[in-house]
Amino acid sequence: MARNPRYDVLFEPVRIGPKTAPNRFFQVPHASGMTNAAPHVRAAFRGMKAEGGWGVVCTGACSIHESSDDSPFPFASLWDEADVRAHAVMTEAVHRHGALAGVELWHGGAAAVNRTTRMAPLSPSGVPWMATHVGFMSSARPRVMDAGDIRELIRWHAEAAVRAERAGFDILYVYAGMGYLPYQFLMSEYNHRTDAYGGTVRNRVRLVEELIDATREATHGRCAVALRISLQELRARASDIAETEGHEVIGHLKDAPDLFDVKMDYSATDCAASRYTPEGSHEPVVDFVKRCTDKPVVGVGRFTSPDTMVSMVRRGVLDFIGGARPSIADPFLPQKIATGREEEIRECIGCNICISSWHDGVWVRCTQNPTAGEEWRRGWHPEIVRKDAEGQVLVVGGGPAGMEAALTLARRGYRVALAEAAREFGGRLRFESALPGLKAWNRVAEYRLGRLRQMENVALYPESPLSADDVLGFGADHVVVATGAHWQPVLCNPNELPGARLDAPRVYTPDDLAAGVTVEGPVAVFDYDNYYMGSAVAEALSAQGHAVTYITTAGAAAAWGFMTNEQPLVHQSFANRGIGYRTLEVVTGFDGETLSLAQIFSGAPAQIAARSLVIVGMRQGGSALYDALAARDPAETRLRSLHLTGDANAPGAIAHAVYQGHRTARELGLPAAAIQIGRDAPFALRDLPAAEAAE
């Protein structure tokens, strides 16, 4: 198909210093969990984006020296020749498809407490990062950098730049954002220095300027030098000589880098969940940069609409359309726009499961794209599924797992029937996407249904509840059961194990709310699931006019939502809606009028008034249909295979359900020997040729 001409501007080449990007699609540096320990996994993940049409593809934060160690969180490094070789695998994969490769040279300063290297953290003035989440907390405090340390930092950066060029990178970043060391020099609360690097904004900018110059000089101008800078706090601060400190900083640096990469200061606003933040949310903070410099500017905003992308360029907000999350959800987003297939874009839903993977210390995962992170290990391509199958498959259950299984099976060549008991497909998404802020999550269903409806080898059967006899009478060769899971009205014990079922008046679960039950207020929501459901239900009930009290076993509302950047925004939402919350408590009883509670550690009792209780805790999988089919004599059923997948197999987030459905479909009908899982390994100095290792 031909490209829509209104999108032509997105495919113009753009100069970045000595380099030229082939188009305006720029995969900015983002965490992937893929460190130098998995060089081929990382190369395949990044290379897939270049194959999909991203003109610039960057790796994530890459430590320049042992004094910047972010463990236990996954981070890459450029410390020696083994690291050079590891990164070269990635740049080779990116260059193979005509894209530029970028690297985010990084020093964490006081925000990297060096748990593994045990080196004292560095900072401008000895001011620590006072983390509020246990995963980031440490009793280690930084030391004050003296003039020699600053010279060493600049040397480390220059030497890392040389190694980066040798690894094949075209764009080298200076990273002055998100609380890391150059950022700490910019910010007055971190920087109390009285020398040439502290005091005035002009002095606080000096280190960033010198790092840019040293990076360019080290590579003799052959590589482009980018500055990644957080502007949320700087733009909010008054300046004596400019509109804000942000304007003043950019004014001092306007000619220094070859590219400005602009972002927010905090993860919860930089990578905000769609639940609370729309597409393009960065614009009010970063829109001034292009008015201050002639250098190209890239920024993000969870861009999925090509019309929004064009608007960013036409209105002079950005030169490059930055993508992190959208590039994970659909590595082929640029190619689909280029070939007039915008309706096939697998749009990011902003759930931030990808971000949670970094917090978990594992390779990136994605709700929309189950192949993310599996490109090398399992050989999965997000767009190409080898047609290697024939016969018919009946998929029972039209939720996320069932739809993904049906789509992938159809792409493999099977004739697929997808049966759903309800009138509409979508499964759990029918209810969940109607909760406050979660509308974008329905893209999971919309994308898959859109593709399924266009496939000649797929038949869709809504309003089709099936018994075991119905299934066998259908005559399919293979059956996949994806009938979902169910919330249970079960309490949680102080030992954090599920307790007894609570039989009392007006006790509900999210399934009851989805079925349309009428709830009487005041309402208590007891959440020991601790992801999005409990807080979203509380918000929904509040929007209906009920007085709501949210109760959790954890220390904060939506405790696991910290992993997805939702937790701070949940607390803000509760405050705005007047939702009360109680933490570190379990429900011990309810009589329809009074809710009994106990402090989870001390057992101290408490009571509150409530007419209804919604329990959001345990989900139960399993399938009576699957059990009935599995109990039949195989000679009678004549089924070649029977599979249980998605939440029915093992309940989890939507991402888990989609992944299970995809894997079931990829592996269905294959002998065990044909299912190969690659195991990556790091390069080490001892493994390199002697001459290379000695360089």
Q: Which member of 175, 180, 447, 508 is catalytic? A: 180
Cβ proximity of 570 and 560 under 8 Å = no
Nearest-angstrom CA–CA distance, 343 and 145: 53
Reading the block at residue 203, the tokens are 């002095």
**Residue labelled with tokens 């992993």:** 563
* Phi, then psi, of 455 in degrees rounded to 5: -100, 130
Bond from prior residue into 489 cis (ω within 30 degrees of 0):
no
Candidates 437, 455, 453; CA nearest to 445 is: 453
Nearest-angstrom CA–CA distance, 116 and 137: 15
276 catalytic per annotation: no
Q: Nearest 5°: CA angle at 257, between 256 and 260? A: 125
Reading the block at residue 118, the tokens are 């045990």
Which positions ≥6 away from 132 have C-beta within 8 Å? none
Cα dihedral: 236, 240, 241, 242 (round 10): 20
Reading the block at residue 158, the tokens are 């220059």
Looking at residue 546, the DSSP 8-state letter turns out to be -
Count Cβ atoms within 10 A of the Cβ of residue 612 and give its class: 0-12 exposed, 13-18 middle, 19 or more buried. Answer: buried
Neighbours of 218 (CB within 10 A): 23
What's the number of CA atoms in the CB half-sphere (13 Å) around residue 683?
A: 23
Classify the C-alpha dihedral 397-402-406-412 as positive or negative: negative
Alpha helices in 441-557, H assignment, sequence order: 443-452, 468-474, 510-514, 532-543
Looking at residue 239, the DSSP 8-state letter turns out to be -
Catalytic residues: 180
